Structure 1
Amino acid sequence: MSTAPEAPAGPAGAALSTPSQKFMGCWSCRLTSGGGLILSGAYVLHAARRVMRQGGPTSMGTAAQITFALGLATWGLVVIADPAGRNQRKT
């Protein structure tokens, strides 16, 4: 009968965190991915405004593009702020 190997211990004998705790857990990861989303939203918004600035008609597609850009930027702010991570109790 064999036993399962124990999980490797980190510094000072502390057990390593689970994969769900590692995902988006560090400040630099949240800042990088959130900043990328905000910049993506700015790029999409710039493309939509360029069409309007050149005198093109404001169509439903342009309005949808602006809405999508604002959604991307908002998603980036949520990733950076991490409101769900603050509500978890640490035991």
Structure 2
Amino acid sequence: MSSTENAAPPTKSPVFGQCWSCRILGGTGLIGSGAYVYSIARSTMKRGGPVGMGTVAQISFAMALLAWGVTIIVDPVGKAKRIDE
């Protein structure tokens, strides 16, 4: 048996660590940028412009930014616990 078999796996820290203010600032920034991209796409639709693939891509990108911001704030990876059998 070698010493590497008994060694504990290295622990990974979340990207923002345990810094609550960093997660709030980064997540809020992403949510705000998603809201801005969404509002630009909606303003084009409200003016009666054609709804093409570009507008759909903008709305999809805005929703992805929003989801990414919520994920950073909630931090589900940092709360995960390993179950040892």
Q: Would the TM-score normalized by the shorter structure come out above 0.5?
A: yes
Instruction: Please point out which of 36, 43, 52 is paired with 1:59.
Output: 52
Q: Deviation string for 1:8-46 (max 9, x for gaps)? A: xxxxxxxxxxxx648412110000000000000000000
Change in 2 beyond 3 A, CA 1:84/1:55: same
> Are residues 1:24 and 2:16 paired?
yes
AA matched with 2:24 = L
AA matched with 1:68 = F
- Taking the aligned partners of 2:14 and 2:32, their CA distance within structure 1 comes to 24
Larger radius of gyration: 1
Residue in 1 aligned with 2:78? 85
Residue in 1 aligned with 2:66? 73
Q: Which has the higher contact order (CA 8 A, sep 6+)?
A: 2
% identity of equivalent residues: 53
User: How many corresponding residue pairs?
Assistant: 70
- Taking the aligned partners of 1:49 and 1:22, their CA distance within structure 2 comes to 34
Instruction: Please point out which of 27, 30, 35 is paired with 2:28.
Output: 35
Give the root-mean-square deviation of aligned CA atoms.
1.5
Residue in 1 aligned with 2:5? none
Structure 1 portions without partners, runs of 5+:
1-19
- Taking the aligned partners of 1:22 and 1:40, their CA distance within structure 2 comes to 22
- Taking the aligned partners of 1:69 and 1:22, their CA distance within structure 2 comes to 24
